[in-house]
A = this chain, B = another copy of it.
Amino acid sequence: MSQITKEPVTLAVQLEKNLKKDSFSTVLANFTPVVLTPPLPQETLLDTFAKLAALAHSNDYLNHQAENLSDLNKSVLEKIYHYGVSPKIINQRQVNILNRKTGIDYPTINPDEISIFNSPITNPQGADLGTRMDLFGQIVDQVLEKTYPTNTLAPDDIIHVSCSGYLAPSPVEKMVSQRHWSTTVTHSYHMGCYGSIPALRMATGFLAASHYGLGKPKQQIDIIHTEFLTLHVNLTSLTPRDILAMTLFGDGFIKYSIYPLKEVLSQKSSGLKVLALKEAIIPNSLAEMLWNLSSHNFEMILSKKIPFLIRDNILVFVEELMSEIGLEFAKEKNKLVFAIHPGGPKIIEFIQRSLKIAPEQVAFSHEILTQFGNMSSATLPYIWDKILSAKEIPSGTLVLSIAFGPGLTAAGAIMEKL
């Protein structure tokens, strides 16, 4: 990692000159990732979903085809291995649609244990949306129990980020109600993989407004991401893009807090100081990524063009983001560490090449993808957590984050490691 630690302190000093002296700054700290059930090996998951998908297609098959069932199984498995994300890229994922009683990992999964697909032959679409939302609520209740142990002090606000489950009252509102907290809860829903950036905009805004006269000055805003993406698996369609979605996404849960800078400095704590946040819609890309509700699940449409659209637009976006703090990307890029949302297997490489940066600078994105899959909005915070605790990344280093979602929306942040 030697390349990325060059002169970080000089950079921070240079930066200090560009920023207004009286500006209000906020800091992210206290990252708490929650792994509710141990991640399962990607190979196990590919096999399991192939078995389930074969069962879901067996009715069509029995009515219309001459082959036998084991041939169907084999052909589905081949298709899933061909179009799916390989175990080299995603080693394991957290999957909470399994009815596992224990947390113990095991090599084979009985399809009967897949809660939303308990009779794939007769009901290939699986549980309807209402049932899946109920399961979302149950799982997130468990996440909150772990994230907010008894006697946790109430934060001023909690921003609940999700693109996978919408309930009202939400599990977060339930918790706040049961604990008689005066915490304000805000839903930050349906923004997809870039969801952490609008949440940071909200948190920074809520703190800034409160410190400049709107109510009492707030001291702590929590952001919690609950992305239960495997809830939306669809077995009835086996197009390449559906297989990609089935093999790419993992469940991800993580909480962190945003504080006014003064608060963090007085406690000499570490954290990530927010310097710039930016979102922009990439032109002529409206139809390339969709995330919409249907009767049984939320449906994702991912076109093959996405990596290329990102490749062709990312440099300008990153240059504009850097210019928000008065820095030239070309001059500074070798000193930066990157948090790139691994939208798909190719995204990190494409961005790395477009920005002409070193593989070491994007290592954390690879690491999280390999260990957890694409956790939608929870992914960047997992990467931030790694960067904050990495001893080889010194204080003063700037962290440049990028994520994408429907629009196509590109979202970015620059933060300084304190």
Contact = CB atoms under 8 A, between A and B. Distances in A.
Interface of A: 19-20, 22-25, 128-130, 133, 163, 166-169, 173-174, 176-178, 180, 182, 184-192, 198, 201-202, 204-209, 212-216, 274, 276-281, 283-286, 289-296, 299, 324, 405-407, 409
A290 B166 CA distance: 11
A281 B176 contact: yes
- Chain A, interface SS category: mixed
A286 B170 CA distance: 10
How many copies of the shown chain assemble into the complex? 2
A213 B24 contact: yes
Contacts of A23: 212-214
A407 B186 CA distance: 12
Given A129-B294, A281-B176, A285-B177, A189 B166 contact: yes
Contacts of A284: 177
Given A177-B281, A293-B129, A286 B169 contact: yes
A188 to B, nearest CB: 8
A214 B407 contact: no
A187 B168 CA distance: 16
Q: Which of A23, A202, A281 has the most CB of B within 10 A?
A: A281
Given A23-B213, A206-B201, A215-B277, A291 B168 contact: yes
Given A213-B19, A324-B215, A184 B292 contact: no
A201 B186 contact: yes
Given A208-B214, A294-B130, A295-B128, A187 B177 contact: no
Contacts of A192: 168
Contact of A283 (B133, B177, B289): B177
Contact of A213 (B25, B173, B289): B25
Given A166-B190, A173-B281, A292-B133, A209 B204 contact: yes
A375 B392 CA distance: 55
Contacts of A177: 281, 283-286, 407
